[in-house]
């Protein structure tokens, strides 16, 4: 039996471009992609913290160290420049793999440089 778990996420990145007439996808700074473990053309889930919209698309590599987060094609209707987004991927894991799995978490600064990385989310307290 497989469990679908969070594989990785880029937390609180800022949208730098919303390109309606660019081929659909989401361009992500290559350094952020590599640190998070997002593969080019991998399905990604984008959660817009600013407006609450959620959508699925695929990742394309943006220029390394550019800070680019470009929401493209029809998805550009879901985000504006300056919006805060979370970008996540999921994977299927066997029970044994799931027991040992730790997601790759990348936390972004407002300029989309890396603030810090982690492999666990703190326990939420009441």
Rounded-to-integer distance, Cα 87 and Cα 54, Å? 10
**Statement: residue 1 has pLDDT above 90:** no
pLDDT at residue number 118: 97
Rounded-to-integer distance, Cα 101 and Cα 119, Å? 9
Question: 59 among the known binding-site residues?
Answer: no
Which pLDDT tens digit goes with each residue over 22-36? 987 999 999 999 999
DSSP string over 20-52 = TTSPSEEEEEHHHHHHHTPPTT-EEEEEETTT-
pLDDT at residue number 48: 98
DSSP state of 98: H
**Statement: residue 55 has pLDDT above 90:** yes
Question: 57 among the known binding-site residues?
Answer: yes
Contacts with 34 (C-beta within 8 Å, 6 or more apart), sequence order: none
pLDDT at residue number 27: 98
Question: 82 among the known binding-site residues?
Answer: no
The residue annotated as part of the active site, out of 58, 66, 70, 107, is 58
Instruction: Tell me which of 3.30.360.10, 2.40.40.20, 3.40.50.12280, 1.10.20.60 is the CATH number of domain 2-118.
Output: 2.40.40.20
> How do the domains of the chain map onto residue ranges?
2-118
Residue with the bigger pLDDT between 24 and 112: it is: 112
User: Does residue 41 carry a catalytic annotation?
Assistant: no
For the chain, give the number of residues: 126
User: Does residue 25 carry a catalytic annotation?
Assistant: yes
Confidence (pTM): 0.95
**Statement: residue 39 has pLDDT above 80:** yes
The residue annotated as part of the active site, out of 3, 22, 25, 107, is 25
């Amino acid at each position: 039996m497989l469990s679908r778990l969070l594989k990785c996420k880029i937390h609180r990145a800022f949208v730098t471009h919303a390109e309606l007439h660019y081929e659909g996808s989401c361009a992500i700074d290559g350094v952020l992609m590599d640190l998070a473990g997002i593969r080019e053309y991998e399905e990604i889930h984008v959660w817009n913290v600013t407006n609450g919209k959620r959508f699925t698309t695929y990742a394309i590599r943006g220029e390394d160290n550019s800070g680019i987060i470009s929401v493209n094609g029809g998805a550009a209707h879901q985000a504006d420049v300056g919006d805060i987004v979370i970008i996540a991927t999921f994977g299927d894991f066997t029970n044994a793999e799931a027991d040992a799995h730790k997601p790759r978490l990348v936390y972004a600064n407002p300029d989309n440089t890396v603030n810090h990385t982690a492999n666990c989310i703190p326990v939420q307290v009441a």
